[in-house]
Amino acid sequence: MRFPSSVWTGLLGLVVALGIAGWLRAASRTDVEDLGPRPDALEYEEGARNLLAGDGYSLIVNGAVYPPRYPPGFSLLLVPVLAVADDGPGTGIVVVQGCALLTIVAAFLIGRRVAGPLGGAAAAVLLAVAPAHVVWSRAVMSDVPAACMVTWILLGAMVVAAGGSPSQWALLGLATGLAGALRMTNLAVAVPLLVAALRSPRDRARAAATCAAGVAVGLAPLLAYDLVRFGSPLRTGYDVWSPGTFFAWRYVSGAPAGGGTEPNLSFYARALLGFGDLYSWPIAALVLLGAAVGIGQGGRRRELVILAVALVVPLLGAQLAFFWQGTRFLLPIVPALLCVAVVPLGVAAPRWLRVAAALLVVAGIAQLSSQALLYRSALRTGEPSALAKFDAVVPPDAALLLHASEPMVRRFLRRPGTDRLWIRLAADPHQLTVKMNRLVPESGPTEPPDWIRPVVGPETVVARVDALLDAGRPVYLSTLLTHKDKSFPQLVTVLARTFDRELVARTDDGTELYALHRRGAPAR
């Protein structure tokens, strides 16, 4: 069977796009083992590991069980990979990278439907080099998998709208409901799905009804989970860990309470106009051009524009009122917008328009290639590698004074066969929230286990170290994560008056570990 040369060109373009995507997104487990940003990535992997350990979808804080703040969908995606090949923190990155490549394939297929093989290749390449998509493909986060699910559902809606059966609409609805367990904002794709059903050429009412029923069935497990765990289908783990107002219209014109320095309206407007890290401004201009051309030409192109708008409006509306700000929240709409952008590349467009669109694509990619900072991720803390190094050099009965997160300390320093103590220089964020909000665990102790000792400061550190040394415990002090601790220099000064420090380990990024000895005492 022979394929037209344009088909082969399109497939070659897809292969090139996947190659570029894989190169830009290349990240090993050790590259992302810090599980940033916190608490998101840390909770996702810990939730999956605790599921595998038989503790349910949970967080273990101070040895007790608490509900995670996020829905369980992404952690469930991680479970099969961790069950087969858990190599430590960051193992879940393979799920994210796989979803990133699948999203590029979906963008290719949508672009090919509306602009031919070359249009499909262009959509795939544009998504492959989209900075925010690249950066968040290198973190164990749910944003890229969410974009993957939304894009494939959108593609399915376009295909089934051409004459699908009610069962196909029901399956698409089911997928949409299940996507809500990954990220609740994924439910925005239900709007274009219903629009596509109502625009289908036959039995529209039945298509929409079965589609809506599928969404309800797919969403039911998440609502049941929230009802059982939090007492209401409308409550989530956020209500436990971050009680407050998550959605408020004041965030549209004012800085959001959780994170952000400007009103959501101006922040997201700049991002969509190409002055952020979603894509460049020539691509934003091409999106607007593609929307105009698609509406004018009708058919599949108009359908894509309508569905893209139906996706953008509810998702953007939710983010405008959300208490936290970030371009990653818009990733689910980026593939659809980039597919709209390639509409002018289709053979149905005049030659001059196709040439102009191609020039905008080249200009957009060229501009991105000159902005290397957009592709840089700053999520590393050095915590796992430092703790692994400490584990190799300290005895199994050591006491360590250090900043760290409880899951990482448990994994690296409390391995079977060890009896180490963690003397906290500060409470980790989860421990601090448990204490400040007086959270009651779902099960387990209400007080920390003996190996987690209370926070120590300059006023109490000498007495604490003396007691440990008297008990026969070797004591170590680490500089890990102390760069933002204003009291750490004072603590070091206080210790220096009574104890000698012996450097026993230094990591590549300069984190140090010292053994503490009484003045004149031999090193152990």
Q: What is the mean pLDDT of each run of 10 residues along the chain (524 residues)?
A: 59 91 91 88 94 92 92 95 91 96 97 92 96 95 96 95 86 95 93 90 84 94 94 89 81 82 91 94 96 92 95 94 91 97 88 89 90 79 90 94 93 91 90 89 88 90 92 93 87 91 90 88 57
| The domain boundary residue, chosen from 350, 375, 400 | 375
Strand residues in 58-178 grouped as ranges (E): 59-61, 64-66
Cα first-last separation, the chain: 76
Half-sphere exposure of 341 (CA within 13 A, CB side): 33
| The domain boundary residue, chosen from 327, 351, 375 | 375
In a domain, 414, yes or no: yes
Question: Could you give the CA distance from residue 450 to residue 444 in angstroms, rounded to a whole number?
Answer: 14
Question: Does one domain contain both 170 and 304?
Answer: yes
User: In the prediction, which pLDDT does 162 show?
Assistant: 83
Which two three-digit tokens encode residue 243?
């009680």
Question: Does one domain contain both 394 and 358?
Answer: no
Question: Does one domain contain both 355 and 446?
Answer: no
In a domain, 500, yes or no: yes
In a domain, 120, yes or no: no
Judged on CB neighbours under 10 Å (0-12, 13-18, 19+), 376 is exposed
Question: Does one domain contain both 406 and 337?
Answer: no
Half-sphere exposure of 372 (CA within 13 A, CB side): 0
Question: Does one domain contain both 344 and 402?
Answer: no
- Are the C-beta atoms of residues 330 and 146 closer than 8 Å to each other? no
Helix (H) / strand (E) containing 310: helix 299-320
Instruction: Measure the CA angle with vertex 163, ends 160 and 168; round to 5°.
Output: 45
Question: Does one domain contain both 452 and 357?
Answer: no
Question: Does one domain contain both 469 and 369?
Answer: no
Instruction: Measure the CA angle with vertex 450, ends 446 and 453; round to 5°.
Output: 95
In a domain, 134, yes or no: no
199 contact partners, CB below 8 Å, separation of at least 6? 161, 303, 306
Question: Does one domain contain both 476 and 409?
Answer: yes
In a domain, 218, yes or no: yes
| The domain boundary residue, chosen from 354, 375, 396 | 375
User: In the prediction, which pLDDT does 468 show?
Assistant: 93
Question: Does one domain contain both 315 and 395?
Answer: no
In a domain, 29, yes or no: no
In a domain, 297, yes or no: yes
User: In the prediction, which pLDDT does 199 show?
Assistant: 84
Question: Could you give the CA distance from residue 51 to residue 88 in angstroms, rounded to a whole number?
Answer: 15
User: In the prediction, which pLDDT does 523 show?
Assistant: 55
Question: Does one domain contain both 314 and 454?
Answer: no
Task: For the full predicted model, state whether its pTM sits above 0.85.
Answer: yes
Three-state DSSP state, 402: strand
User: Tell me, what CATH number does 410's domain have?
Assistant: 3.40.50
Domain that holds residue 401: 383-518
Question: Does one domain contain both 402 and 279?
Answer: no
In a domain, 38, yes or no: no
Total tally of structural domains belonging to the chain: 2
Name residue 338's amino acid.
L
* Paired strand residues for 259: 324
Buried b (16+ CB within 10 A) or exposed e, 10-32: bbebbeebbebbeebbebebeeb
Question: Does one domain contain both 315 and 247?
Answer: yes
Question: Could you give the CA distance from residue 473 to residue 452 in angstroms, rounded to a whole number?
Answer: 15
Q: How many residues does the chain have?
A: 524
- Cα–Cα separations (whole angstroms), residue 517 to 62, 196, 376, 501: 29, 72, 42, 7
